[in-house]
Structure 1
Amino acid sequence: MTAGRDDDALTWEGDDDPTLDIGASAPAPSEASADEVESDADSTTVLPEGFTAVGKGSEQFTAEADADQTEVISDRDAGGAASASLGNAALIGLGVLGGIYLLYAIGWIVGGLRLRGTAQFLVSPIAYDVAMWLAAASPVIWFAAVHLLTRTSPVWMRLAWLAAGALLLIPWPFIMMGAIGR
């Protein structure tokens, strides 16, 4: 059996990157003498742009521009929750609530169209049409507003506002009149 990298079960593009074989170029700690270890600790190796050394022994590596590294770290810390990706449960929750809001918009349209004949006795047809379409757009507007206004907030706060909107924007004309009849 050969020990080459080409015989691995899975190969990925970039596997032949020379920075992946750090252990092959350095002697084992038991083989190196104390003088060699001290001289290695004193000398620093410059990493290519975009690479960061972490972990044990990373002190011997330096970045080409330390100032750039500190700027990147400070930008990452300043971004905080805004740059963090959502977890699987949060994405599923957003998808379910987004589906509920879509069904609410459809319910407002269907229920509003069913009440059109009855409402003409109370308000003018133009006023009713404007109110019906605003009511149909309200779930979409609420979902977009919560999504945009809670970008930097914790995920639980976004989901709480979406759940509150799901309770607030229930399409009552559809529920009371139904899609078929009274």
Structure 2
Amino acid sequence: MISDSDDALSWDGDDDASRARPTPVKREKKAVDTAPPVVADRVASPVEDSVGEAPDPDSEEGEESAPLSTAMLLITGVVGGVYLLYSIGWVVGGLRLKPLANFFVADEMFLPWFVLAVAAPALWFLATWVLTRGRASWVRASLLLLGVVLLVPWPFVTVGVIGA
């Protein structure tokens, strides 16, 4: 049996045009009508208004956000992982610091600040993600990297797991 080496790399129907990848459709934003609404001569009942109401073009339901670029996705993932490690570092460092802190403050004062220190990286990440929605990618990346600098778990960095 003689066979062509290219036969092994193709299937029947590979050249079918109906299986080709569709072309992407560009979505254009609709222009918002700035003309004042026309006032009707009669008063409509609330039932008629809710049934015959057209969808609001300003609503965010039909609007899709642009996907993250590869670089921004990579930065977000790496910085999110660093923030997770920071939270673990605050737990370990804070627990190592607790016996020394008991000389200065009561447990009732230490515990809320300890919980806030552990949650601070996650809160920073969430706040940056929500507040920079719709902004340029470099703004989000710079705020995420600023958090990496500001939220360093200093008790863990200075004392470490072993301690002195």
Under a length normalisation based on structure 1, what TM-score does the superposition of the two structures give? 0.59
1:154 is displaced (CA, Å) by 0.7
Structure 2 residue runs without a partner (length 5+): 1-10, 32-57
1:89 is displaced (CA, Å) by 1.1
Match of 2:160 in 1: 178
Spell out the pairing of 1:108-147 with structure 2 (5 A cutoff). 108-147=90-129
1:161 is displaced (CA, Å) by 0.2
Higher relative contact order (CA 8 A, sep 6+): 2
Q: Secondary structure at the match of 1:7?
A: coil
Match of 2:19 in 1: 15
CA distance, structure 2, for counterparts of residue 149 and residue 168 of structure 1: 18
* Structure 1 counterpart of 2:99, one-letter code: G
Aligned length: 122
Q: Secondary structure at the match of 2:103?
A: coil
Give me the CA root mean square deviation: 3.0
* Structure 2 counterpart of 1:88, one-letter code: T
CA distance, structure 1, for counterparts of residue 155 and residue 100 of structure 2: 12
Spell out the pairing of 1:146-161 with structure 2 (5 A cutoff). 146-161=128-143
Match of 1:83 in 2: 65
TM-superposition CA deviations, 1:22-80 (whole Å, max 9, x none): xxxxxxxxxxxxxxxxxxxxxxxxxxxxxx8x9xxxxxxxxxxxxxxxxx62249x99x
Tell me: CA distance 1:118–1:73, structure 2 relative to 1, closer, same or farther (3 Å). same
Structure 1 residue runs without a partner (length 5+): 1-5, 21-51, 55-71
Tell me: CA distance 1:165–1:83, structure 2 relative to 1, closer, same or farther (3 Å). same
Q: Which stretches of structure 1, 4 residues or longer, exceed 6 Å deviation after superposition? A: none
1:180 is displaced (CA, Å) by 1.4
Under a length normalisation based on structure 2, what TM-score does the superposition of the two structures give? 0.65
1:74 aligns with 2:32: no
